[in-house]
Structure 1
Amino acid sequence: MTRIKVPLPAAFPFTCTIAVRVTDINYGGHVGNDALLGMIHEARVQFLRRMGYTELSMEGVGLIMADAAIEFKNEVFMEDSLQVSVAAGDFQRVGFDLYYRIEKVIDGKKIPVVFAKTGMICFDYSQRKITQTPEAALQKLKQFASNTP
């Protein structure tokens, strides 16, 4: 069976810490895959906030997630501390990709948990249609870009 492989950029210009909540734990006793996608969403919100944006307001346009690829590497438990790193890349006329590396830190050692990518499309919510990436947003995003795969 073929598995998803998410190639990551060489560097990640943005990192945040996300706490594991008791509600993230599933019946298997570890963080569920749905919770990890939620953590990716939280990291994206913090990444955008760093640039002065939200998912609904980025230089006059909003964002919509067109696709997501997640490669699960290791389990996460309640006591784990998570570092989520984000980089932008693959800039197109109407969107771009965001890359995520989630790691847990145990005894000072970083252990990979998730490698992921989301395809983000610029969207005009008032007209309910895809729109071009604003040039000012593109320039800010490129400050958080890395050598993408």
Structure 2
Amino acid sequence: MARVQLELPEQFLYTHTINVRMTDLNTGKHVGNDQMISLLSEARYRFFCDVGFDQFERQGQSIVVTDLVATYKAESFAQDDLQFEVGLMDFNKYGADLIFRVTKQPSGQVVVLAKQGFVFFDHARHGVIPVPDNFRQQFASIADQA
């Protein structure tokens, strides 16, 4: 199987550091892939909070993750400080891609590169909806490249 290659954004929009907990480890004593996905979701949540967007529900609307790709570059262990850099790319009519670069601090060693595609979703209609104007405008320089 061919290795996945992720394109990184020109700049990341948000950075957050998370300290690895003992409960994030698997039997190999490093962060398990399931826990890394949870940590990516936490970074996504904090990014959306930072930009003032409620990802859970905004007038009956929220986001839904449509796909996920993660490439693992190194192990991380309990008490490691992981820096999550979050960027946006590839806007389309209904959503965009969140790009993550996760590095150990203070070394800067890359642990994971990941992408989460998402769409906006109307729960009353049970269907996808176009990217809200206020969200598209907030990231106009990125959205206009689509």
Q: Would the TM-score normalized by the shorter structure come out above 0.5?
A: yes
Instruction: Find the counterpart in structure 1 of residue 29 from structure 2.
Output: 29
Provide the aligned C-alpha RMSD in A.
Answer: 1.9
Q: Is the 8 A contact 1:44 1:86 kept in 2?
A: yes
TM-score (ref. length: structure 2): 0.91
Structure 2 unaligned blocks of 5 or more: none
Letter in 2 for 1:104: K
TM-score (ref. length: structure 1): 0.89
Distance 1:95 1:135 in 2: 12
Equivalences, count: 144
Instruction: Find the counterpart in structure 2 of residue 135 from structure 1.
Output: 133
1:10 to partner: Cα distance:
2.6
Q: Is the 8 A contact 1:59 1:136 kept in 2?
A: no
- How is 1:53-92 mapped onto 2 (pairs within 5 angstroms)? 53-58=53-58, 61-92=61-92
Instruction: Find the counterpart in structure 1 of residue 49 from structure 2.
Output: 49
- How many percent of aligned residue pairs carry the same amino acid? 34
Structure 1 unaligned blocks of 5 or more: none
Instruction: Find the counterpart in structure 2 of residue 111 from structure 1.
Output: 109
Distance 1:114 1:35 in 2: 12
Distance 1:142 1:82 in 2: 29
Q: Which one has more relative contact order, counting CA pairs under 8 Å at least 6 apart?
A: 1
1:61 to partner: Cα distance:
2.5
Letter in 1 for 2:121: F
Distance 2:140 2:33 in 1: 29
Deviation per CA, 1:100-127, whole angstroms, max 9, x where unpaired? Answer: 000011xx32100000011110100122
